[in-house]
Structure 1
Amino acid sequence: MESALDYWSAKALLEWQVELGATEALCEAPVNRYELEAAAPKVKEAQKPGMPPPAPPKPKPVDPVAEARKVAKSAPALPSLRQALADFRHCDLKMGARNLVFSDGQPGARVMVIGEAPGRDEDQQGKPFVGRAGQMLDRMLAAIDLSREQNVYITNVLPWRPPQNRDPLAEEIAVMVPFLERHVELAQPDILVLMGNISCQAVLGKRGISRLRGQWDQAWGKPVIPMFHPAYLLRQPEQKRAAWADLLELKARLGAPN
């Protein structure tokens, strides 16, 4: 049996090995250092003095359309839907508009008119279809014994005026469609009247009002008839004959048994 080294002998051997260039002590058995690195816990690097704190993780981007669906579906009645629109933060149009333009007329009426977007007069008054276009619409409705005061409900695809009355962008329409669909569900009309191209794009997914007008379609469980927008008829009075034919189609449908 080997005798243990005394202190001085061990010290002398260690100093001799250091002089020879030894820098590490080895065990009697080999060590797999790759396994040691894999098993070692990761230690967060300590923050150095004077360095700014690490940035918090970035929030996940919000899908405006998905958020609109969730918010609109949760509205149990028209007043709460209006408030949900007023509180909605994912449509930049509201930043430049004076007023939210929600609706006019009689909720629960058999006819629901859907316009495109508010103009200057609508933005100032907070009601859809006012000014010259609104007066034209009132005359059109009166010609077949309808009125917003008695038996018509009116809204727009967009509740806020686009800058300079430009056409709404596709993404702006898309984020407002869930609110419009819920609006129709809560108002419960028998017939939808789509005034202009933007309304047809939002409700039917189609454009080309000259081709679509006067042709019955279906959307959201309702019969739908597209018509020329009153503002267009003010610019193109020769199209009033076609608009009159469409109004007669609407009147005949209202007179038919449900």
Structure 2
Amino acid sequence: MESQPPFEQIADIPAAEMDWHLARALLDWQVEMGVDECIAEGPVDRFAVEAERVAAQAAAPAVARGGAAPAEPRAEIDAVEVARQAAQGADSLEALRAALAAYEHCELKRGARSLVFADGNPKARVMILGEAPGRDEDREGRPFVGRAGQLLDRMLAAIGLSRDAEEPEEAVYITNVLPWRPPQNRDPKPQEIAMLRPFVQKHVALAKPDLLILMGNISCQAALDRRGILKMRGQWAEAFGRPALPMTHPAYLLRQPLAKREAWADLLSLKARLEDL
């Protein structure tokens, strides 16, 4: 058999003089060396080709490609506006609770065991606005039932108030900014406070208390749009159209027992305000 010329000499052989066996041997060698595409007469801008292909595919009607017509883009849901409309439609506390239970735009709902709505006498002159349920509250479905809640009950009893009292003058009504427990008791996010604020505002309007107690930073943020409870505590303000007294949260008092003296001063201020009214 006649021997083939070395591969380095093949490039110099005119295509017309190559037989089939030589061309096939050259192709096999190129494939073995990793060649996967032919070189054309002129350069090809592969990026431009791909861009044209994508543009043409996007411009072609979906029906022509054998699929369904392109869907219209979904409008972004305004969770705060949905909450506002739902709260406005509630004409009683029972209806407000049902509206909260039907609200699907807060992710906290999916991880909580219970909807913690309220406790105490809804006709009470004093309404306490807490922050969010903890583990015990999530288990029982009532606000302030853990250690902080037990301390709160003793604080209220010291000035003649109780969540179990039947007379409005001696009773309190308790709720939270958030009705669902945040994971690991983390602080509520600003967007969570914003979307649930319309329910809180409606809750106050339906309960019609004479005074509000804002327990902790989250309550002040929801009602006064401010934080800094250690500076605000003891200073009367106005929230949702009613006198409001910021106070340190009982959970803080459990961690800082020396702060109970200031809390006692706030309770005396509350008692005096009730007597004036």
TM-score normalized with structure 2 length: 0.75
Residues 142 and 45 of structure 1, relative CA distance in 2, 3 Å threshold:
closer
Amino acid paired to 2:89: S
Equivalent residue number for residue 136 of structure 1: 151
Residues 122 and 46 of structure 1, relative CA distance in 2, 3 Å threshold:
closer
Amino acid paired to 1:165: N
Equivalent residue number for residue 8 of structure 1: none
Equivalent residue number for residue 31 of structure 1: none
Amino acid paired to 2:197: V
Equivalent residue number for residue 162 of structure 2: 147
Equivalent residue number for residue 66 of structure 1: 81
1:225 and 2:250 aligned: no
Amino acid paired to 1:251: K
Are the aligned partners of 2:62 and 2:69 in contact in 1 as well (CA < 8 Å)?
no
Equivalent residue number for residue 116 of structure 1: 131
Equivalent residue number for residue 184 of structure 1: 204
For residue 51 of structure 1, report the CA deviation from its aligned partner.
Answer: 1.4
Equivalent residue number for residue 240 of structure 1: 260
TM-score normalized with structure 1 length: 0.81
Name the SS for the 2:69 alignment partner.
coil
Equivalent residue number for residue 100 of structure 2: 85
Aligned-pair Cα RMSD in Å: 1.3
Pick the aligned partner of 1:47 from 60, 63, 72. Answer: 63
**Equivalence map 1:149-188=2 (5 Å):** 149-150=164-165, 151-188=171-208
Structure 1 segments unaligned to the other structure (5+ residues) = 1-43
Amino acid paired to 1:248: L
Name the SS for the 1:114 alignment partner.
strand
Equivalent residue number for residue 107 of structure 1: 122
Name the SS for the 2:127 alignment partner.
strand
Distance in structure 2 (CA, Å) of the matches to 1:142 and 1:223:
21
Name the SS for the 2:163 alignment partner.
coil
For residue 208 of structure 1, report the CA deviation from its aligned partner.
Answer: 0.5
For residue 219 of structure 1, report the CA deviation from its aligned partner.
Answer: 1.4
Distance in structure 1 (CA, Å) of the matches to 2:257 and 2:213:
20
Q: Any idea what the Cα deviations from partners look like across 1:190-244, whole Å, max 9, x if unmatched?
A: 0000000000000001111110000000111100000010000000000000000
For residue 101 of structure 1, report the CA deviation from its aligned partner.
Answer: 0.3
Structure 2 segments unaligned to the other structure (5+ residues) = 1-59, 166-170
Distance in structure 2 (CA, Å) of the matches to 1:47 and 1:223:
63
Amino acid paired to 1:252: A
Distance in structure 2 (CA, Å) of the matches to 1:199 and 1:86:
21
For residue 46 of structure 1, report the CA deviation from its aligned partner.
Answer: 8.8
Amino acid paired to 1:227: M
